[in-house]
């Protein structure tokens, strides 16, 4: 009888551990997505519009490319430096977002966004053009992380 109780307890512990591991496996991408969203929104944003999103197919209208950046550690608007004679920027306090247009550089610590008339470089890495705004989180070590949620296992 006592041996049967020990087996039941052992089985209950094993089943509970497997259920907990399965729950963690299923919840992990959602938790990671929430954490990335939190990090992206925690810091001041820089919104950039490049005049043309590349060569449009014949008969279509070219539209501007929009990029929204978030620098890790840039919690205050004064943390960013702007450089360039043709660079214009304004700060929207309610959205905690700089609106940037023109040619120049936006920097935070060792991370630099270089803006050209038709291209955007982050730490000398060219960004792809897209039909929807690109959300880019720039970590202190220079690594770029998508601000969008990608649920995958």
What mean pLDDT do residues 54-71 have?
73
Those residues whose C-beta lies under 8 Å from the C-beta of residue 97, and which sit 6 or more positions away, are 44, 45, 46, 47, 68, 91
End-to-end CA distance of the chain: 43
What's the mean pLDDT in 84-104? Answer: 93
Pick from 7, 31, 113: nearest CA to 70: 113
Note the pLDDT of residue 61.
62
pLDDT at 70 over 60: yes
Q: What ranges do the domains of the chain cover?
A: 1-153
Mean pLDDT of the chain: 85
Per-residue pLDDT tens over the stretch 9-42: 888 889 899 999 888 888 888 888 888 888 899 9
* Closest by CA position to 47, among listed 124, 140, 120: 120
């Amino acid at each position: 009888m006592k041996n049967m109780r020990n087996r039941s307890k052992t089985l209950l512990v094993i089943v509970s551990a497997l259920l907990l591991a399965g729950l963690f496996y299923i919840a992990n991408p959602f938790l990671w997505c929430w954490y990335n969203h939190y990090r992206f929104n925690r810091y001041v944003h820089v919104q950039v519009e490049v005049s043309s999103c590349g060569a449009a197919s014949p008969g279509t209208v070219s539209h501007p490319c929009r990029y929204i950046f978030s620098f890790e550690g840039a919690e205050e608007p004064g943390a960013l430096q702007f450089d360039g004679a043709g660079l214009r920027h304004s700060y929207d306090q309610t959205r905690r977002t700089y609106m940037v247009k023109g040619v120049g550089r936006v920097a935070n610590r060792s991370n630099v966004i270089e803006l050209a008339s038709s291209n955007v470089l982050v730490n000398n890495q060219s960004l792809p053009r897209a039909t929807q705004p690109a959300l880019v989180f720039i970590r202190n070590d220079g690594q770029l992380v998508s601000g969008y949620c990608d649920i995958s296992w």
